[in-house]
Each structure stands twice: as C-alpha cells, then as structure tokens.
Amino acid sequence: MNDLSNLTGVIFSDVDGGYVSECPELGVASQGDTIDEARAMLVGAVELTLECADEDEIRSRLDGSYFPYSQFTEEELMEGLEEVESRPLPINADLLGAAGG
C-alpha cells in the first residue's frame, strides 16, 4: 500500500463563506469556518476513512481508481471556489495516530 504519511490537504475558500478542505489521494473532503478548522475537520475525515474503509478500498483510492467526484467535470468542481492555499498541508501519521496502521 502507498505511504500514508504523506497525504495532501488542499484548502479552498467557499463562495458561501468558510473553507472547503480535501485530501485528493483518498477522495475525502470536509469544511470549516476557518482554515485551521477546515484542516482539523479534514484530518478527522481522513482518520474515519482509514478506520472504516477496508484495505481494498483504501488501495483503490490511493492508486487513483476510486474517484467519488466522477460525475462532475473539473471545471464544475472549481466553479465558485477561490484557491487560498495550494501548498501541501501534510496529514502525517503522528496526526492520524493508529488510524493508518
């Protein structure tokens, strides 16, 4: 299985206020009123995904064969969102505790 210690977090400002956060490797998203809250909520969503999904699902998410937003074009996904932070925000194993292992 791919290394879970280097997952990416991407945070965007939402047109309705607040922030949307996403881990593209796992196809997991969340939101929050602040960047810090959006990041914390994303970490929680990643933890829950790793706790609940079986190894085959996690593997398919990491190798790109699982894409939950496939019904939308990239343009539709980006419409109305303004990127605020494009640098990777690491979600490392220390933050995830035992969830990844």
Task: Report the pLDDT averaged over residues 10-29.
Answer: 90
What's the rounded Cα separation, in Å, for the pair 79 and 100? 33
10 Å CB burial of residue 26 (0-12, 13-18, 19+) is buried
38 pLDDT band (50/70/90 cuts)? Answer: very high
Residue ranges of the domains in the chain? 4-92
Beta-bridge partner residues of 19: 13, 32
Q: What is the per-residue pLDDT across 48-98, written as a single tens digit (0 to 9) for each?
A: 999 998 888 888 888 866 555 445 556 655 655 544 444 445 555 444 544
Structure-token pair, residue 39: 């990041």
Helices and strands: H and E segment counts in the chain: 4, 4
What is the pTM for the complete model shown? 0.62
Residue predicted with more confidence, 67 or 13: 13
pLDDT at 7 (0 to 100): 86
